[in-house]
Structure 1
Amino acid sequence: MRPELHTTEDGVAYRDLNGNGRMDPYEDPRLPVEVRVEDLLGRLSLEEKVGLMFQTVIEAGSDGTVLEHPGSISKSPTSTVVLDKHLTHFNVHALDDPRMAARWSNALQALAERTPHGIPVTVSTDPRHAFIENVGVSFSAGAFSQWPEPLGLAALRDADAVRRFADIARQEYVAVGIRAALHPTLDLATEPRWARQAGTFGQDPDLVTELGVAYLKGFQGDSLGSGSVACTSKHFPGGGPQKDGEDAHFPYGREQVYPGGRFADHLKPFPPIIEAGTAGIMPYYGMPVDLVVDGVEIEPIGFGYNKQVVTGLLREKLGYDGVVVTDWELVNDNHVGDQVLPARAWGVEHLDPHGRMELILEAGADQFGGEECVEILLDLVAQGRVTEARVDESARRILAVKFRLGLFENPYVDEDEAAATVGRDDFREEGYAAQARSVTVLHHEGGRLPLEHGLRIYAEQVSPEAVARHGKLVDRPEDADVAVVRLTAPFDPRSDLFLESWFHQGSLDFPPGLVARLERIAAVCPLVVDVVLDRPAVLTPLLRFASAVVGSFGSCDDALLDALTGTIAPVGRLPFDLPRSMDQVRAHGEDVPGYDDPLFPFGHGLRLDTE
């Protein structure tokens, strides 16, 4: 779909976004971004400027139309938030068919053209190229090419491969109108119980930094342009060291702690990502406890509210002048159906929504994630608690990103191009190879791996079709030459709060009954165990009887068996230490990368003789 273009007398093509019949400076593609921003900012009403400062969830109609009723997550009809509330940033959830996704994106942009100044919409997304389906964190690939989780990319130890992944993801995003990524995640996976490690690049600050910059470059390029996806790097100043591994989405996980004094490790990836030009940065929910930086104690309130962190550290010390987006729902409680998740107002629970929003702005943030309550900010301005100049400061940063992305020239996409690009065969092949290569061989005895072709295989949690490509599936271990069992890293299921069931938290120990059953299998045939490591697991009991143990970080059954047979050589290396026991985990500082005596250390990964 092409936008309607007008031409000046001297032949300059432009979009007449405000419908006044002439090319205004903000519509002039020849002018510097700063000039266009100032011109547009001076034309906007307060309501329009305030609308820029909110980014909320949006859901697409399955037929490619905008959704004109509240969705399962989104709170308002699309036309209400675009035309009445003047929002221009949306985090999209489910997208199925790429042609329909492109059609929806175009319908959304056409709706935005009806606003007074035709400000185009920026559509963002959480990661959607791997396996984990968690509406609070990421989406499984669906129609997009499928790759390992970021932990699996880290297991490859290859910055060029990470940049190549990000470039492919960029092409697929742009094809359906997604122009902003709420990633990369630069948190260090130092606390093994934490639920969000799969989205990280592991525990080592140097590796996280190297791969994070490569990832950013793949999405944004060397600078933002018309083919870029703008990244929001997170979670400043490092969201990994959660007390006891509990996640700060939930009230019981609000505390972030540094018993090992390793705050600098967690901060380390951010200066290089700023230098590389990240378009946005997102602070985490966590509330620091007993944190001292440069001799000053940091106030124990959530990072999104914390002026010492957002203004003092990020903006003043590190020199960042880009967009700061809060994590979701810092202002209001989240109501989904009959469930309520309290606002993540950790340390400032006593404040009402007005007070929370005011504090966030004082801290230095520009945009409220997961909110559409424009009336609160308008009321704060009316009361004199927030100045219009403060609104302008954030609106200026936000508009600059839109201009640099070329959205004012053409925010529309081509449905045929979307269908041809998303999930392209060569993209899928590269993703599949990465899935297999990232498999990490932790232990194998007696040359058990690689598996020979044509074996009789007993399998659990592996598809019969995948087994049939390499051998003969049998129903009993007693009849097998080898057993292949896939396990998910252990966790304690929880479901009392909204989102909780998707977060794998708690113990890393396998249930004793499962261990005993696997030992019985190993007594009658060699046992190969794959553990899907969305976070570490205590593998110690398995080593007593398993012939081989591997870890995977997002690999389909076919890719796993290709790795186990050496069809595609597995070259993964651990992106974090694996602990010996839960006692070792409990005694370990949440902020400290690695253990003195792990079961398997960071970087461990055996090579197979595939000749």
Structure 2
Amino acid sequence: MEAAYWNKELTVEERIEDLLGRMTTKEKVGQVNQHMYGWNAYRRLPDGIELTEAFKQEVAFGDGMGALYGLFRADPWSAVTYENGITATQSAKAANAVQRYIREHTRLGIPVLLSEECPHGHQALDGTLIPTNIGIGSTWNTELMERVYGHVAAEIRARGAHVGLISTLDILREPRWGRSEECYGEDPYLAAKMTESAVRGMQGSTPEELKKPDKIAALLKHFVAQGAALGGRNSGPAGIGERELREIHLPGMLAGVRAGAQGCMAAYNEIDGIPCHANKELLTGILRDEWGFEGVVMADGVAIDRLLSMTGGDYESAAGMALAAGVDLSLWDTSFTTLEAAVEAGKAEEELLDRAVRRVLKLKFELGLFDNPFTDEDIAKETVGSETFRLDNLQAARESIVLLKNEDALLPLGSNYRKIAVIGPNADNIYNQLGDYTSTQPAGKGVTVLEGIRRIAPEGTEVAYAAGSGIRSGTPEQLQEALDVAADADVVVLVVGGSSTRNFDIRFDTNGAAITTEGVPGEMDCGEGVDVADLQLGEPQRELAKRIAETGKSVIGVVIQGRPHALTDIDSLCGALLCAWYPGQEGGQAVGEILFGQVNPSGKLAVSLPRSAGQLPVYYNYKDGGSRPGYFDLTGQPLYTFGHGLSYTSFAYEGLELQPAAISVKELVQGGRVAVKVTVRNTGETAGQEVVQLYVKDLEASVTRPVTELKGFRKVGLAAGESQTVVLELGLDELAIWTASMDFAAEPGRMRIAVGGSQDGDCTAELTIVRDH
């Protein structure tokens, strides 16, 4: 008679309890471990793949396997290339081989979760790469992003994997941090809305959709405040208190929980002396007891083993500590492999082990893996790299690009420029526009900026190119070549910035972060493990820009970057300046279209651009202490602030109206909302998209409040001369604050409401929250 846990007619809970009751402690430990690197689980053969002895031993260790990370990962750290890795068309066969082996060689046949990195598209051979999050935030287009993340999920599921590890939770308040590119920006509200889009795109809107062949479980990282590392040093402590934690860093995960996220990854950092992987108040008290989260908490790579400094080097105690805090699934740790011994020694409670196993099993059941762990081996051919995804990816790249300045309407370029010089280290290097966590790319995939300009330039236009320098290196010969090319051109497009490009010469630590040498400049100057003290571009690029400007040619700057660099020197040399972030594999096409006016730029900065690292922090929503504090030797104002972005057309706002203009605390608690109505008109001669931004300033509060806070936005497209009435809503979530007694509540008082195309607000009104009687 077949065991009850295989019976589809029973509830998930009934199936879990039946299965759990049959499991030995060893089998339970197997389900909470994700110990091996997935690329070590197979060996590529001429006619397919074979599973390795290392994989089989890992399965035997726990008579099963909870999860397998990175079966399809391909990059310099994994050393997986097209010569030894698994392509899209081979993926489902490989995934099915893994599931088949586990079903046939374990007592209970529990399917394995296959987890994959997808911070900006699937990090696998043939995976489609979208703009990194810092660019995604600059689109301010949640609907487009939901479609894009849906494509990412479809590619991963078509290959046989089930869980997507996606960065959504880190807030960019420290741009020296190498992982800045993984943040949606500096604002918690914008980041929360983008997190919702990611979850809904990847999972759908209901738990039932997880079983569909184009959906995966979203596992959000990093929980929490990893972007607040002191000094911008990766994995450093977060020097924040509970108020900042709740106001700035927790809203993203709360939004993810409400959207149904199936998992999160604990952060490497510590808060007030407690590592996140040992923080029961965070992982259980807030996440589960307060918010009702029912998903899986995964450890970051070897992060549980980092607790050894608190346990005198004892792995069993470290495992017990993380398990008690609320970690359910390991990642490469030794500690969790000792859980059977830890339970026997009383260093970990079997009841807590059962709790973690239930959560892992629940996800497997909800993904439908017990009913069918296998994947149709033909789906990936049509899904991975589809034309529909390419077009949405191109649109995401277009909307992520921000026009920072445009003196004398230098852009868009007209047909009067017959010879264009394209100069700079980021003009013709596809890897430099893709960001960190990028898979090995085949030759010819993606469009560089140089190629995009050549595609879009009017017929008869000559486009000449010279690199001029590297990212952090350069030679006199490179510089002279660039000057010669510029001297013979009508206009110069200067493509500079940073790079998160990994190569096979870079060393990596055990969790895949790049290892850099202090004081030795490298071409990779951004990405995990690559933190900087100085936010200026590399000196060779600054010298290149200076010398190009001295030629007297008009200069259009295009900055490809993964962090907000201090662009003061570059900005002053350029008549027009585009911030393209890392725009993904379609980014060059998007840049070319914007330069020549085929596309009207619509991006708005999701993070402020500083003038100098010495200004930090420069985020827009600083606490109100009068005017923004400055310095004796430098203004306190950023070079370009959050929400800024120009267009080739202009927009006007009028008729701001609040309905109602006064609302009681009781009404807000009961679900009442304030409708904020405004009319936006395209006053120019070109169609364009405008981001309508709504900001709130609490004028009467029990604690100090920011000078302004984003609380609503919508992106609208308007033809020349067209107008549209936009309605945004404010409710309890937007109007309540964490009070002096640390309650989340709406307080009676006045609030200034500002609506416009930037945080300055084109229209303002006052809202009153009335005290209950």
CA apart distance, 1:304: 0.6
1:482 to 2:447 alignment: no
Q: 1:457-536 residue pairs with structure 2 within 5 A?
A: 457-459=420-422, 460=424, 461-463=426-428, 464-469=450-455, 470=457, 471-474=461-464, 476-489=485-498, 498=509, 499-501=513-515, 502-503=527-528, 504-506=530-532, 507-524=534-551, 525-536=553-564
CA apart distance, 1:497: 6.1
CA distance in 2, matches of 1:80, 1:590: 53
1:30 to 2:39 alignment: no
Question: What residue identity is the alignment partner of 2:258?
Answer: E
CA distance in 1, matches of 2:211, 2:400: 32
Match of 2:582 in 1: 554
Q: 1:5-154 residue pairs with structure 2 within 5 A?
A: 22-56=1-35, 57-59=37-39, 60-63=42-45, 64-68=48-52, 77-85=54-62, 86-92=64-70, 93-94=73-74, 96-114=86-104, 115-127=106-118, 129-130=120-121, 139=123, 142-154=125-137
1:428 to 2:468 alignment: no
Question: What residue identity is the alignment partner of 1:267?
Answer: L
Q: 1:260-271 residue pairs with structure 2 within 5 A?
A: 262-264=244-246, 265-271=248-254
Identify if the C-alpha distance between structure 1 residues 481 and 546 changes in structure 2 by more than 3 Å, giving closer, same or farther. same
The structure whose residues are more often strand, as a share, is: 2
Higher relative contact order structure (alpha carbons within 8 Å, sequence separation ≥ 6)? 1
Question: What residue identity is the alignment partner of 1:487?
Answer: V
CA distance in 2, matches of 1:48, 1:455: 70
Match of 1:180 in 2: 163
Identify if the C-alpha distance between structure 1 residues 185 and 435 changes in structure 2 by more than 3 Å, giving closer, same or farther. same
Match of 2:728 in 1: none
Give 2:143's match in structure 1, choosing from 160, 185, 194: 160
Identify if the C-alpha distance between structure 1 residues 142 and 149 changes in structure 2 by more than 3 Å, giving closer, same or farther. farther
CA apart distance, 1:301: 2.5
Match of 1:308 in 2: 281
Match of 2:699 in 1: none
Identify if the C-alpha distance between structure 1 residues 374 and 601 changes in structure 2 by more than 3 Å, giving closer, same or farther. closer
Contact preservation (8 Å) 1:189, 1:593: no
CA apart distance, 1:589: 8.8
Which structure has the larger Rg over C-alpha atoms? 2
Give 2:614's match in structure 1, choosing from 583, 589, 595: 583
Contact preservation (8 Å) 1:146, 1:428: no
Contact preservation (8 Å) 1:260, 1:591: no
1:322 to 2:303 alignment: no
CA apart distance, 1:588: 5.8
Q: Which runs of 5+ in 2 are unaligned?
A: 75-84, 429-449, 466-484, 516-526, 629-635, 650-685, 688-773
CA distance in 2, matches of 1:346, 1:196: 25
CA apart distance, 1:244: 0.8
Question: What residue identity is the alignment partner of 1:604?
Answer: H
Match of 1:226 in 2: 211
Question: What residue identity is the alignment partner of 1:283?
Answer: A
CA distance in 2, matches of 1:62, 1:526: 53
Question: What residue identity is the alignment partner of 2:391?
Answer: E
Question: 1:565-588 CA distances to partner (integer Å, 9 max, x unpaired)?
Answer: 222332111110111112102x66
RMSD of the alignment, in Å? Answer: 2.8
Match of 1:14 in 2: none
Identify if the C-alpha distance between structure 1 residues 549 and 278 changes in structure 2 by more than 3 Å, giving closer, same or farther. same
Q: Which runs of 5+ in 1 are unaligned?
A: 1-21, 70-76, 131-137, 249-253, 290-299, 333-343
1:236 to 2:223 alignment: yes
1:456 to 2:419 alignment: yes
Deviates more, 1:322-331 or 1:510-519: 510-519
Contact preservation (8 Å) 1:125, 1:178: yes
Question: What residue identity is the alignment partner of 2:297?
Answer: V
Superposition TM-score, scaled by structure 2 size: 0.67
CA distance in 2, matches of 1:450, 1:61: 51
Match of 1:442 in 2: 404
CA apart distance, 1:100: 1.2
Match of 2:356 in 1: 394
Match of 1:282 in 2: 265
CA apart distance, 1:275: 2.1
Question: What residue identity is the alignment partner of 1:79?
Answer: K
Question: 1:301-333 CA distances to partner (integer Å, 9 max, x unpaired)?
Answer: 21111222222322223332322111110244x
CA distance in 2, matches of 1:418, 1:492: 27
Question: 1:94-130 CA distances to partner (integer Å, 9 max, x unpaired)?
Answer: 2652111121111111111121111111111111645
Question: 1:30-80 CA distances to partner (integer Å, 9 max, x unpaired)?
Answer: 2110011111111122111111111243115445424416xxxxxxx2112
Identify if the C-alpha distance between structure 1 residues 61 and 529 changes in structure 2 by more than 3 Å, giving closer, same or farther. farther
Question: 1:521-562 CA distances to partner (integer Å, 9 max, x unpaired)?
Answer: 123222122212311100111122112111112323233212
CA apart distance, 1:486: 2.0
Match of 1:377 in 2: 339
Contact preservation (8 Å) 2:610, 2:618: no
Contact preservation (8 Å) 2:324, 2:352: no
CA distance in 1, matches of 2:637, 2:311: 41
Give 1:257's match in structure 2, choosing from 228, 231, 239: 239
Question: 1:391-441 CA distances to partner (integer Å, 9 max, x unpaired)?
Answer: 111111110110011011112112221111111112112212221231111
SS at 1:232's partner residue?
strand
SS at 2:227's partner residue?
coil
Identify if the C-alpha distance between structure 1 residues 372 and 428 changes in structure 2 by more than 3 Å, giving closer, same or farther. farther
CA distance in 1, matches of 2:558, 2:277: 39
SS at 2:389's partner residue?
helix
Deviates more, 1:149-158 or 1:372-381: 372-381
SS at 2:265's partner residue?
strand
Identify if the C-alpha distance between structure 1 residues 242 and 593 changes in structure 2 by more than 3 Å, giving closer, same or farther. farther
Match of 2:173 in 1: 190
Identify if the C-alpha distance between structure 1 residues 128 and 589 changes in structure 2 by more than 3 Å, giving closer, same or farther. closer
CA distance in 2, matches of 1:346, 1:602: 41
Superposition TM-score, scaled by structure 1 size: 0.84
Identify if the C-alpha distance between structure 1 residues 416 and 319 changes in structure 2 by more than 3 Å, giving closer, same or farther. closer
Question: 1:335-381 CA distances to partner (integer Å, 9 max, x unpaired)?
Answer: xxxxxxxxx33862744222211211121211112236654111112
SS at 1:458's partner residue?
strand
Identify if the C-alpha distance between structure 1 residues 235 and 129 changes in structure 2 by more than 3 Å, giving closer, same or farther. closer
Match of 1:600 in 2: 640
